[in-house]
Amino acid sequence: MSRPEDTLLADVHYDDVEARKYTTSSRIQNIQASMTRRALELLDLKTPSLILDVGCGSGLSGEILSDIPPEEGGPHVWIGMDISPSMLDVALQRDVEGDLFLADIGQGVPFRAGTFDAAISISAIQWLCNAESSETSPQQRLARFFGGLYQSLKRGGRAVCQFYPKNDVQKQMITSAAVKAGFGAGMLEDDPDTKNVKVYLVLTAGQSAVANTKSGDITGVVENMEGVDVVDNRRQGRSSGKGEIKKGSKQWIIKKKEQMERKGKVVKTTSKYTGRKRRIAF
Amino acid sequence: MKLLTLNFLTCAVKTCKSSSDSFPLHPKDAELASDDVEVNPELLVNLLPRLDWKALKTTSAEVFLPSCIYPLGFPQLPDSPPTIEQLQSDDKLLKDLHSLLMETNLMEGKLVCGVCGHEYAVREGIPNFLLPSHLV
Ligand SMILES: C[S@@+](CC[C@H](N)C(=O)[O-])C[C@H]1O[C@@H](n2cnc3c(N)ncnc32)[C@H](O)[C@@H]1O
Ligand SMILES: [Zn+2]
């Protein structure tokens, strides 16, 4: 499969002809709609919400958000950002309900802190792995994007980004940029190992009611789902020097126990439960 | 662009990030249009605590005063934000807030940052937030 991301800039690739072709293809319409529904399922929104659609294009993803009936917690209001004037033009002609911005997400997310209940991005962020110009690097652009996304989400808010990584290096590059920005992150793959594989990066911004599971910041949703890899290199990423033992961690407790034992004290035997957080049972 | 969105939008210029005066952006030469949108009380209740009331008052004064829509009975906002209970029990308030936030659209004009003076052009309701790289 050819990847326009590798050779072209997004606003060049999505010109008038391509934007129209893309939007009128019923095959594409169906795929984008089903991925958006999947993303919404992962967001698990209970009430009408304000949602950011990153790389909204001609509105194929956003219009699903406007169409969620009240029984399912909608309809939602969305704001879309896209770098391609042609795609936005098609969105205007289709009279989508969301507000549209001509903007490059690699330059950041210009909304005040805590604006959005949630964010989605469908088939867009792999474009960030290519520098738009010689003045910036993909790392820099990813950092601006995830940094801006993190602060524009309300605390406990989630973002789900479906994207098409070229390879594991890109997957890793994107995930680690999200984690560095402060997100709890999980990766979900539908139809893994097929040519229809769909990759979803599920992110939580700060604490939420469901986020209190064993890694402390990952969404309960992701963790309990089949086929989900919890990515939590945050802790390793943040701690300074190697071999440092964090106070309260299992390692730390074991070390303390050894010290106590050496002093002749009686200590509980170490088990797989040692150092685990006790959760309140309801 | 809905006036709702203006209540959340900030200047994108790097040096303005830390300055509170880069919000709200100020509409200039604004052309407005009104849209019919179904009232969604739950959405407004969800958004109310997040609205910046002072900015909303500033914005509505800036967009309506120069135009002729304002004197024709356009909703006067109360000075302080209503509570959720007040919003839920006051139908007129709910409708007013709905028509202001959800139905009033900025179609043409500019959005100007009060700190750096950058002007974001708005065409057909779409603001252009692409920045030259030295401002990012
Ligand atoms: C495959 S389309 C998906 C559009 C829409 N989300 C959908 O589901 O149909 C990818 C979109 O990402 C946009 N995009 C790529 N790079 C971008 C960037 N740096 N900033 C904003 N949008 C970008 C493209 O212009 C394009 O409209
Ligand atoms: Zn500014």
Listed residue (B11, B4, B18, B8) closest to B110, CA to CA: B11
Identify the CATH number of the domain in which residue A30 sits: 3.40.50.150
pLDDT at A207: 61
The amino acid present at B18, given as its one-letter code, is S
In this structure, are A260 and A176 located in the same domain?
A: no
Closest ligand to B11 CA? 2
pLDDT at B63: 87
pLDDT at A215: 41
Distance A5 CA to ligand 1 centre (A): 11
In this structure, are A259 and A136 located in the same domain?
A: no
User: Does A202 sit in the ligand 1 pocket, CB within 6 Å?
Assistant: no
To test ligand 1's pocket by mutation, which of A87, A100, A121, A136 has the most ligand atoms within 8 angstroms of CB? A87
Helix (H) or strand (E) holding A37: helix A26-43
Identify the CATH number of the domain in which residue B48 sits: 2.20.25.10
Q: Read off the pLDDT of residues A221-257 as tens digits, 9 standing for 90 and up.
A: 455 554 556 664 443 333 333 344 555 666 656 666 6
Which atom of ligand 1 is nearest to A61's Cα? 8
Number of domains chain B is built from = 1
For residue B45, the enclosing domain spans: 3-131
Cβ <8 Å between B46 and A50: yes
Percent of chain B scoring above 70 in pLDDT: 92
pLDDT at A266: 58
Listed residue (B100, B136, B102) closest to B118, CA to CA: B136
Q: Which of A9, A76, A88, A102 to mutate to test the interface with B (most CBs of B within 10 A)?
A: A102
Q: Read off the pLDDT of residues A113-157 as tens digits, 9 standing for 90 and up.
A: 999 999 999 999 999 998 667 788 999 999 999 999 999 999 999
Listed residue (B106, B97, B1, B112) closest to B57, CA to CA: B97
In this structure, are A40 and A178 located in the same domain?
A: yes
In this structure, are A143 and A247 located in the same domain?
A: no
In this structure, are A114 and A251 located in the same domain?
A: no
Which tops the pLDDT comparison, A136 or A163? A163
In this structure, are A151 and A27 located in the same domain?
A: yes
| 3-state SS assignment for residue B117 | coil
Cα separation, B33 vs B56, in Å, equals 18
- Most distant pair of Cα atoms in chain A: their distance: 79
In this structure, are A82 and A197 located in the same domain?
A: yes
Cα separation, A162 vs A188, in Å, equals 9
Q: Read off the pLDDT of residues B77-102 as tens digits, 9 standing for 90 and up.
A: 888 999 999 999 999 999 999 999 99
**Distance (Å) from the alpha carbon of A161 to chain B's nearest alpha carbon:** 22
- Average pLDDT of chain B is 92
pLDDT at A58: 98
Distance B136 CA to ligand 2 centre (A): 11
Helix (H) or strand (E) holding A139: helix A138-152
Termini Cα distance of chain B: 23
One-character DSSP codes across B46-71: HHGGG--HHHHHHHHHHHHTTSSSTT
User: Does A96 sit in the ligand 1 pocket, CB within 6 Å?
Assistant: no
In this structure, are A235 and A251 located in the same domain?
A: no
Residue nearest to atom 25 of ligand 1 (CA): A84
For residue A268, the enclosing domain spans: 243-281
| Nearest beta carbon to residue B8 from set A81, A112, A144 | A112
In this structure, are A262 and A125 located in the same domain?
A: no
- Give B135's pLDDT tier (boundaries 50, 70, 90): very high
Specify if B106 maps to a domain: yes
In this structure, are A139 and A221 located in the same domain?
A: yes
- Give A181's pLDDT tier (boundaries 50, 70, 90): very high
Number of domains chain A is built from = 2
Specify if B14 maps to a domain: yes
Residue B79 exposed, middle or buried by CB count within 10 Å (0-12, 13-18, 19+) = exposed
Most confident among A9-18, A97-106, A218-227 (mean pLDDT):
A97-106
In this structure, are A148 and A267 located in the same domain?
A: no
Q: Read off the pLDDT of residues B42-73 as tens digits, 9 standing for 90 and up.
A: 999 999 999 999 999 999 989 886 555 554 45
Distance B22 CA to ligand 2 centre (A): 5
Listed residue (A23, A11, A15) closest to A96, CA to CA: A23
Residue nearest to atom 14 of ligand 1 (CA): A55
Specify if B136 maps to a domain: no
- Average pLDDT of chain A is 83
In this structure, are A148 and A41 located in the same domain?
A: yes
Which pair of structure tokens corresponds to residue B120?
């974001």
Specify if B109 maps to a domain: yes
Specify if B8 maps to a domain: yes
